[in-house]
């Protein structure tokens, strides 16, 4: 009897092993069928694919994908049961960006973004609804609105520069988290201003950090895992921003002057409501707008942190560029004047503007813009992207194509004489392209120019250089490996005393 049970148990084990092996073979065959002649790894781990290497060494993972793509401009791989296509070619990236529609591609912002951001965010919208909503958002970035933000930005930048110098106290400090903290305060103040009290800001910062951690982990949506914690944190963040929206609507009904982005937005909505045109407004409930505000925050926060860190790194390693920036800024603005830099002065700082654009080109912060193929899509005359594929156009790789000596940091490429931003416009994709091109790019550039102008004028700085300190790491946007470790000291005779302080 025991021999019979043992034989039966062995047979069951053999069957299970054979069945699992069969499933793994089927999975590999499906990968090969989708991959066909496209470049990419020949064999992939079952289910996980190369997700572990992506999470553990993202920089190396994307470098390998770029190498695979060198011949045809794209390559393939497999992540968490999902087939993926990496796009290196600028031309093919434009093909993706300009075909965001129900029968082609959906922008998702993150491979598992819908679970994190919710189903109804701005990035998942198509067609006329998307156009209408972007039209309603447009007043948030008029010259008048941008001028309001410029004042808020400078006040916060100055506050944090003073703090950094005090912390440094003749020793090197890492700026990554400090810049991130400054940008988070800037985003909160510019977007929702007075509607977020001190207690709410502390909770907001905690939840945003939880969200950031979850972005870089495996998408295991179970209690105790970072991804689930991040998803719940996003729900709390959106709820907070929804309450800010409600308060702003009440303020704008009273016909008060806008003091932040949500006020400019709600002012427009109040106008429609007063004219009896509520039915024409897309996505205007408090919770919907809260979701869109979170989308803005995500787009602005980490990308801006990346750009500011690389600006410091690149200015320090290019003293000739730094010297020219300092000379130009002092032509238009003196810290001793106690006046803020104006929008007109920002426009006059042509070289500093060029430096900001070159920082973004040379180190595009959001290196990849994930999309989902909604249907089979012919990418080339011999390869069709299968439905359900995650597609990663690489704006980072595009940034080095076409431009004169593209791997060299050279702000003069954006001068009025060379105008490489126009000549090679198709390769400058840091703000995207097509219907989902970044609506806040002018705001982002203003912030970077203001920071470069104030940091270089008010602060003396020197990197503590170590082996590999400038290597690229993902947090989730790209940053220097050492977190930008610098010595800081006060450069100006005295700090400006802005009226709003």
- Going from the C-alpha of 114 to that of each of 2, 295, 299, 323, 476, the distances in angstroms are 53, 12, 15, 45, 17
The four Cα atoms 166, 204, 109, 413 give a dihedral, to 10 degrees, of -30
Paired strand residues for 85 = 76, 391
Q: Are 44 and 205 in contact (CB under 8 A)?
A: no
Asked if residue 268 lies in contact with residue 151, where contact means CB atoms within 8 angstroms, the answer is: no
Q: How far apart are CA 177 and CA 179, in angstroms?
A: 5
CA dist 226 and 142 (Å) reads 38
DSSP 89: -
What gap in Å lies between CA 111 and CA 109, rounded to an integer?
A: 7
Extended strands (E) in 148-273: 173-174
- The residues that bridge with 84 in the sheet, in sequence order, are 77, 390
Residues in the chain: 501
Backbone angles phi, psi at 250, to 5 degrees: -65, -40
Contacts of 449 (CB under 8 A, 6+ apart): 346, 349, 352, 353, 356
> For residue 459, which phi and psi values (nearest 5 degrees)?
-125, 140
The C-alpha atoms of residue 162 and residue 156 are separated, in whole angstroms, by 10
Residue 438 labeled ligand binder:
yes
From residue 33, give the alpha-carbon distance in Å to each of 43, 76, 218. 12, 12, 26
Q: Give the β-pairing of 390-393 and 82-87.
A: parallel
293 close to 245: Cβ distance less than 8 angstroms: yes
The verdict on whether omega for the bond into residue 476 sits within 30 degrees of 0, i.e. cis, is yes
Q: Return the number of other C-beta atoms located less than 10 Å from residue 226's C-beta.
A: 17
Exposed/middle/buried for 225, CB within 10 Å: 0-12, 13-18, 19+?
middle
Provide the H-helix boundaries in 254-334: 261-274, 286-317, 319-332
Tell which phi-psi region holds residue 182, choosing left (phi > 0), alpha (psi between -120 and 50) or beta: alpha
Q: Output the known binding site.
A: 438
Q: Output the known binding site for heme.
A: 438
């Amino acid at each position: 009897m025991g021999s019979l049970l043992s034989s039966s148990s062995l047979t069951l084990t053999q069957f299970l092993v054979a069945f699992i092996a069969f499933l793994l073979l089927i999975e590999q065959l499906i990968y090969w069928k989708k991959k066909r002649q496209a470049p990419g790894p020949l064999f992939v781990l079952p289910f996980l694919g190369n997700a572990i290497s992506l999470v553990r060494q993202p920089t190396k993972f994307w470098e390998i994908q770029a190498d695979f793509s060198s011949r045809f401009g794209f390559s393939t791989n497999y992540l968490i049961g999902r087939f993926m296509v990496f796009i290196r070619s600028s031309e093919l990236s434009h093909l993706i960006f300009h075909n965001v529609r129900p029968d082609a591609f959906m922008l998702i912002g993150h491979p598992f973004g819908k679970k994190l951001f919710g189903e109804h965010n701005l990035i998942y919208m198509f067609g006329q609804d998307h156009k209408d909503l972007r039209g309603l958002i447009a007043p948030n970035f008029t010259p008048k609105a941008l001028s309001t933000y410029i004042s808020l930005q400078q006040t916060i930048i100055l506050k944090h520069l003073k703090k950094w110098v005090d912390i440094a106290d003749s020793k090197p400090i890492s700026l990554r988290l400090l810049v991130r903290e400054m940008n988070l305060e800037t985003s909160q103040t510019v977007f929702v201003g007075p509607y977020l009290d001190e207690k709410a800001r502390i909770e907001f910062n905690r939840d945003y950090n939880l969200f950031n951690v979850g972005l870089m982990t495996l998408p295991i949506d179970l209690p105790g895992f970072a991804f689930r914690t991040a998803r719940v944190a996003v729900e709390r963040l959106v709820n907070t921003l929804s309450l800010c929206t409600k308060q702003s609507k009440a303020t704008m009904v009273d016909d008060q002057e806008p003091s932040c982005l949500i006020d400019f937005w709600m002012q427009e909505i109040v106008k429609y409501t007063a004219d009896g045109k509520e039915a024409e407004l897309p996505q205007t409930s408090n919770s919907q707008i809260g979701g869109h505000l979170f989308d803005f925050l995500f787009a602005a926060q980490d990308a801006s942190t990346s750009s500011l860190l690389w600006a410091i790194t690149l200015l320090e390693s290019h003293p000739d560029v730094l010297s020219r920036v300092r000379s130009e800024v002092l032509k238009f603005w003196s810290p001793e004047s106690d006046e803020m830099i104006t929008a007109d002065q920002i426009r006059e700082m042509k070289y500093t503007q060029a430096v900001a654009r070159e920082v973004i080109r040379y180190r595009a912060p959001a290196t990849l813009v994930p999309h989902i193929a909604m249907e089979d899509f012919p990418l080339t005359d011999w390869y069709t992207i299968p439905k359900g594929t995650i597609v990663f156009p690489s704006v980072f790789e595009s940034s080095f194509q076409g431009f004169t000596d593209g791997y060299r940091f050279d702000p003069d490429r954006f001068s009025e004489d060379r105008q490489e931003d126009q000549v090679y416009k198709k390769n400058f994709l840091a703000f995207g392209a097509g219907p989902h091109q970044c609506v806040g790019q002018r705001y982002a550039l203003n912030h970077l120019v203001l920071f470069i102008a104030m940091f270089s004028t008010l602060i003396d700085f020197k990197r503590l250089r170590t082996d590999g300190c400038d290597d690229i790491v993902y947090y989730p946007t790209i940053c220097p490996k050492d977190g930008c470790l610098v010595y800081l000291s006060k450069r100006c005779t005295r700090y400006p005393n802005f009226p709003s302080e």
